[in-house]
Structure 1
Amino acid sequence: MTSRHVRRSRVRAAAAVTCLFALACAACTGGPDDTPSPDMKSEAAEGPVVVASGLDVTGSGGVRQQLIEEWNRSHAKNKAQQAKLVELPGGADQQRSQLLGALQSGSARYDVVNLDITWIPEFAEAGLISPMPGTGDGGGDDGTDDIDLDFIKRVHATTVWKGRSYARPFNTDVGLLYYRPDLLTAAGIQTGRQPTAAWTWDDLYASVGTLALSPDRTDDRAGWTTQLKQYEGLTANAIEAFASVGVELADSEGRYTSGPEKLKKGLDELLDRARLGRIQPAALSSDETAALTDFAAGRAVFLRHWPYVYGALKALLPSNAYSVNRLPGVSVLGGQNLAVTADSPRADNARALVTFLTSRESERCLLDAGFAATRASAYTDGSRWPCWPAVAAALRPAGDSPKAAGTADPPPSGAPSPSGEGASGEQGVSARAAYTRTLSAALNEAVQRPRTPYYGAFTHVLQSRVHALLAAKSPDSTAAAVKLDAELRDAFAGR
């Protein structure tokens, strides 16, 4: 038996168990109904190259589809190199389950998979994706022996597992602080006292205290809001709180490194951020859509959210009613990476497609459309490496409401419907340039969520314990830390 098959057998059982934590376990049996079977290898090898991905936050006919069409135009004479994008339904847990089941069973002929950055160790350990060329065992510890160094270093590190890079960064994400200058000014907080890159959480709390004294404050207005519903958004918020006080849960090899005392420190930091009187009470049940709705409606003055919201807000508020800066403390990375499946009979064409989709021009298209780009040149050399002309011309305000990665629920009835980049009310060139600088700086300082092939089990445990603590009338962080420590030890060990 080959080492790859040994790895697959060992991890397949763990992957099957973690499917139980997904929102739709039935999806583990295969891919979409219209996906052809891989049984006839010779026929399948002719094409197209199939890319499996979650839904595009830029809407129907968004930038990912436009990039696929640009690739197809440039390879119009070669049918074997044509590409097709298959969008998987549901939230992140459902998509992960579908991809795991499809690749393990061979029930879907995916050549390229667009993976959440937290899934790379799991798929690599299971032998479901191939190492990228030029990332052999003789490379550096961070897998950057001969990669394109234009990728932001911290973002590229999300592709690496055990010293080898298994993907290329496609689009990234990072937590940012959005705020309402109009509401701050109305409360007497002038421009000089509004958020800067040097802001701390204490600065935010001080402004929240001032807002509470404002005669213009309404009963339903809170200082800030975020995503504390029991889903991956809660994990991101928890890791940011933990990292802000120096608490790391695992090393680069996925080994658990924390303990009850450290966990209590991180839990206390999160409890402090979620204290009543500071945070919108609805945050405990808020996902990305609900938090954005509260912010746009003026029920929160500060908002922790992802970069796509910068484009979404253009359809919701006047340009002088919102702004953005770096998140106080530590921010966590999100995003997706493109990997070539281990059994793809079109591996060479698949790797060429990945190279195109993550090129300088393509990354600029992603940034222009509202994603956070993974290349440094997208933030500094836009004139030298502009978006592909046909893609730039096709980008338009999306008809569908954008949703953050991992958000499965539609906007609530009566909620504002955000649109994509280029919507009416767009902020000026200087504001866009300032946003781009802010985004680039945040990406260069952000941290990763734990790297482990058992991420599904880890995040399930963390969400469950943290949400229960936040919802408790008299939260006991000491007791919660002891329980969380025991459960995390098991999760990181694959038990």
Structure 2
Amino acid sequence: MAQVYSRRSFMVGVLSTGLLSSAAGYVLTRREPVTLTLATGSEPTGGGRNLLITLWNELHPDITIVPREINSTTQDQFAKFTENRADIYNLDVIHIRRFADAGRIAPITPRNDISLLDPVRRACEMEDGSGRLWAIPFNSDVGMLYRRVTDKRAADREPELRDVLALDGFIGQLDTIGAQTDEAFVINVLEHALAQDPLILDQDGVLSTSLTQWQGALKPLAEAMRSGRIKTRTSEEDTIRAFQQEHLRYMRNWPVWFPGVDREERARPDTAEIRLSRLPIGILGGQNLAVAADSPHREAAEQVIHFLTDTPAQKLLATYGFAPTGLDAYIDAQLKETAPHLAMVRDAIEDARPRPMTAGYAEFAERFKEHTYAYLHRGEQLTQRFVNDIQEALK
């Protein structure tokens, strides 16, 4: 795979050709120029999203996209995004329901036959059976297990997350220092619980309310943390630094970081490569583009969204590490050759579980974090109050 990274510029050029053809289909006849504000968080790596926006702007001088980066967390994304005027929102998957319930986004009909993966589509669908979506998926995401390989000739059994807890050298986002890192902690805890008990969270994002079930699902993680066998960090970036500096064997992280981590590790004489494997059941993540209900330029905003989420755009984002949302990108011959790990990412997404898709998610996440952090880091036992609190938040 050494040539994967040297061929990125070639891949971007090839895929941009497809984008040029795609862009021709998104032309509106306008009497005056329009500027669309896109409210979004920061881009974690590579610049792929910015490249798409730049390409649109160069090809459509009458409809200009202006990104407005808004620093927000799980708890305050709704408040911070809605206090800024925008035409398009780039929403984390867990916020779609709250924006929809508040009447802040308008339904949109998918175009281009983008063949979304089932869990990705379900997270955005309206409940009226119309086939319309509250937002069009921009990129998907799911937790993955990284492992360091020092000798390609040696047997390398693909591990299970629950088995890794009994070994030394695992690190994940299992600590938090505040709102900026709380969500990573919540997701990691849910993934470890699912590795022990797949019934703890179902395919519709409904959580178990059995205290006994939660105690059993989290006990192995608590024991591994207290024994010192595994290491904890607060963010994806901190986790990567520790994985590299301490030459650890296993790491939980998102697939978007894989190209950069693998490229850096291959330069080390004591690492042959980094391999990905799926978790037994990962947590579904991703960003989604929605039209603001109060935008005076809804038709133009829809055209932009269709361009940014079309199959050529998905292929380009994949070269920057992002997980595509639709089947066509995963079966593309060029991507299968240059990014073979995407096949495993697709499998993981198709079996991923969503977090509770309710308007009260932020409050749930805060309460879930408080109880599970106290249990895992301070040894305070989970009690019926834990179940009562999460039930109350999700009403």
Place the TM-score, normalised by the shorter chain, in its bin: 0.7 to 0.9
Could you tell me how far apart the structure 2 residues matched to 1:375 and 1:229 are? 33
Higher relative contact order (CA closer than 8 Å, sequence separation 6+): 2
Counterpart of 1:50 in structure 2 is 37
Structure 2 CA distance for aligned equivalents of residues 113 and 131 of structure 1: 13
Give the equivalent residue in structure 2 for 1:170: 138
Deviates most, 171-180 or 234-243:
234-243
CA contact (8 A) 2:200 2:214 kept: no
Q: Residue 235 and residue 438 in structure 1: after superposition, are their counterparts in 2 closer, same or farther (change >3 A)?
A: same
Within the alignment, does 1:369 sit opposite 2:312 as a pair?
no
Q: Hey, what's the Cα distance between the residues in 2 that align with 1:382 and 1:167?
A: 28
Which residue does the alignment assign to 1:21?
none
The residue aligned with 1:98 is 80
Q: Which amino acid aligns with 1:372?
A: A
How far residue 99 of structure 1 moved from its aligned partner, in angstroms, is 0.8
Matching of residues 258-297 of structure 1 within 5 Å: 258-272=209-223, 274-280=225-231, 283=232, 285-297=233-245
| 1:120 counterpart residue number | 96
Question: What's 2:361 paired with?
Answer: 455
Does residue 65 (structure 1) correspond to residue 70 (structure 2)? The answer is: no
Offset at residue 82 of structure 1 (A): 2.1
Query: Which residue, 149, 157, 168 being the options, matches 1:181?
Result: 149
Say yes or no: does 1:204 pair with 2:164.
yes
Q: Give me the whole-angstrom Cα distance separating, in 1, the residues matched to 2:207 and 2:266.
A: 46
Gaps of 5+ in 2: 1-31, 177-181
Displacement of 1:52 in angstroms is: 1.1
Cα 1:344/1:382, change in 2 over 3 Å: farther
Name the counterpart of 1:337.
288
Task: Using the TM superposition, give the Cα deviation of residue 265 of structure 1 relative to its aligned residue in structure 2, in angstroms.
Answer: 2.6
1:437-489 Cα offsets, whole Å, 9 max, x none, are 221221121111111110110100111111111112x453xxx1412101111
1:219 matched residue in structure 2? none
2:109 and 2:217 map into 1 onto residues whose CA distance is 39
The match for 1:156 among 121, 136, 141 is 121
Partner of 1:82: 64
Instruction: Work out the CA distance in 2 between the residues paired with 1:447 and 1:251.
Output: 5
Distance change >3 Å, CA 270–CA 149, structure 1 → 2: farther
Q: Deviations over 1:154-194 (max 9, x none)?
A: 11222125345200110111111111112xx5xxx9732x2
Q: How far apart, in 2, do the equivalents of 1:488 and 1:177 lie?
A: 28
Q: Structure 1 residues 46, 149: CA separation in 2 closer, same or farther (over 3 Å shift)?
A: closer
- The residue type equivalent to 1:225 in the other structure is I
CA contact (8 A) 1:152 1:375 kept: yes
SS of the counterpart of 1:434?
A: coil
Please report the TM-score for the alignment, with normalisation by the length of structure 1: 0.65
C-alpha distance in 2 between matches for 1:327 and 1:376: 18
Q: What residue in structure 1 maps to residue 6 of structure 2?
A: none
Superposed CA RMSD in Å reads 2.7
Contact kept? 1:333, 1:448, Cα under 8 Å: yes
Bigger shift: 438-447 or 346-355? Answer: 438-447
The offset of 1:250, in angstroms, is 7.4
Partner SS, residue 489 of structure 1: helix
State the secondary structure of the residue aligned to 2:169.
Answer: strand
Specify the structure having the higher radius of gyration (Cα). 1
Q: Which residue identity is paired with 2:147?
A: Y
Task: Specify the SS of the correspondent of 2:106.
Answer: coil
Cα distance in structure 2, aligned partners of 1:344 and 1:382? 39
Determine if contact 1:150/1:377 at 8 Å carries over to the other structure: yes
Report the Cα distance in structure 2 between the residues aligned to 1:165 and 1:131, rounded to whole angstroms: 6
